[in-house]
Amino acid sequence: VLPFPSQVVYNRVGKCGSRTVVLLLRILSEKHGFNLVTSDIHNKTRLTKNEQMELIKNISTAEQPYLFTRHVHFLNFSRFGGDQPVYINIIRDPVNRFLSNYFFRRFGDWRGEQNHMIRTPSMRQEERYLDINVCILENYPECSNPRLFYIIPYFCGQHPRCREPGEWALERAKLNVNENFLLVGILEELEDVLLLLERFLPHYFKDVLSIYKNPEHRKLGNLTVTVKKTIPSPEAIQILYQRMRYEYEFYYYVKEQFHLLKRKFGLKSHIRKPRPRPEFFIPSPLETEEPIDDEEEDDEKWLEDIYKR
């Protein structure tokens, strides 16, 4: 019997499918009897030292087993004398994430009113209808760094340097993925993410895939799709790539690790034609084609080691 982790944290990255996953968690928490702890704070990801201590204290004293979820950058529980929980997360292609957020801020999703003008009521009309190409090509703050350096800080943590686009934050984020996260999945392969979560954390995620595939749940999930999205010009996309080079290095690193994990458990990846990438990117990551039959390390032993971290 595998050790049962009674403390799980999903520090969800914005516009990476987290609304869909939280919908699933609400159903699963009732079905399996764990404590789903959510937060009403959605726009405060960076915390002072005192705020970190207070949040860690509140999380750690929640009724166990719990799964805590909030948009917040990685918290090091052990730094403040707490037991480090099991972390999980999901990321997506950085440009797609940025575009989803850009239009969601303006027009919301299908849960809103028919005109989709209620997401950010205070937004000025000229800002709401700002052409995405103008925003990128004319270097508006919303479409340039540091605003575009978004995913890495969720894994790098609360250190001030985690907010600065560069190698230091990138490498620290990779280290935390390896040492503190049970699973970081890829939204483009969400069904496989759910399969692995069910395998690794059955007390929380058993039957998650069958719930996700249920037509009634799919109707709810479709309501969270951002509306009125348009695709920028190739020139604007190329500029976004350049501005988000560290985000892409991290994304492809996580994707490679995720595919290695899938291979370990016999899951095939459906290989899509890769999007052209600028020269600065590392070589194409390993694509999983066939399951590995002979693993040196036993699957159960591997999970035990993860839970003991």
Is residue 71 flagged as an active site residue?
yes
Q: How far apart are CA 185 and CA 175, in angstroms?
A: 16
Q: What are phi and psi of 226, to 5 degrees?
A: -65, 140
CB 287 within 8 A of CB 267: no
Q: How far apart are CA 96 and CA 231, in angstroms?
A: 9
Reading the block at residue 128, the tokens are 């709401």
Q: Which of 71, 159, 203, 217 is catalytic?
A: 71
The pairing of beta strand 7-10 with beta strand 66-69: parallel
CB 105 within 8 A of CB 129: no
Strand locations in the chain, DSSP E? Answer: 7-10, 35-38, 66-69, 86-91, 181-186
Reading the block at residue 92, the tokens are 């997506």
Helices (H) and strands (E) in the chain, counts: 14, 5
| Strands of 181-186's sheet in order across | 35-38, 66-69, 7-10, 86-91, 181-186
CB atoms within 10 A of CB 3: 10
Catalytic residues: 71
